[in-house]
Amino acid sequence: MIEVRTTVPTSVDRVFAVLADGWSYAGWVVGAAHIREVDPGWPAAGTRIHHSVGAWPVAVKDVTTVRVAEPPKVLELEARLWPIGAARIRFELAEVSGGTEVAMFEEAVKGPPALLPEGLQALFLTPRNRESLRRLADLAVRKESQ
């Protein structure tokens, strides 16, 4: 799995609150263009975010499903983007001096990207996921100041 980490200067609860707000995903997940619907009960296991990726008129509609939810420490998702494939994404949050360490793990599990060696997947996923965590951190810190 490709791993990126960052420290966010706020509490674990504040960071998890952003993860638990399915409507916020288009604001921090790089590539997500529009959230069409969030299942009631998100982020309980089995609930989904219905999203679009890409620019109109070629936006692809698909879903992200919660696989594991252990608030406020762990959230594991399966993000689909057919026909390209699907990825498993896991967030682990830990209290550290100065805030919350967020670890994000991702691996392609279906479709052509799953056939790529981890090193090649890392070339694409590492910069994207660093930016996603930067955006997540910005939202969590902003949420704290509200």
pLDDT digits (tens, 9 = 90+) for 54-67: 777 778 889 999 99
Task: Residue 138: count other Cβ atoms within 10 Å of its Cβ.
Answer: 14
Taking only the tens place, the pLDDT of each residue in 32-42 is 889 999 999 99
Q: What is the mean pLDDT of residues 53-81?
A: 91
**Which two three-digit tokens encode residue 137?**
């951190």
Kind and range of the H or E element at 142? helix 118-145
Kind and range of the H or E element at 104? strand 99-110
Phi-psi region of 36 (alpha: psi -120 to 50; beta: other; left: phi over 0): alpha
Specify the CATH number for 2-145; select among 3.40.50.410, 2.60.15.10, 3.60.40.10, 3.30.530.20.
3.30.530.20
Task: Please report the pLDDT score of residue 58 as a whole number.
Answer: 78
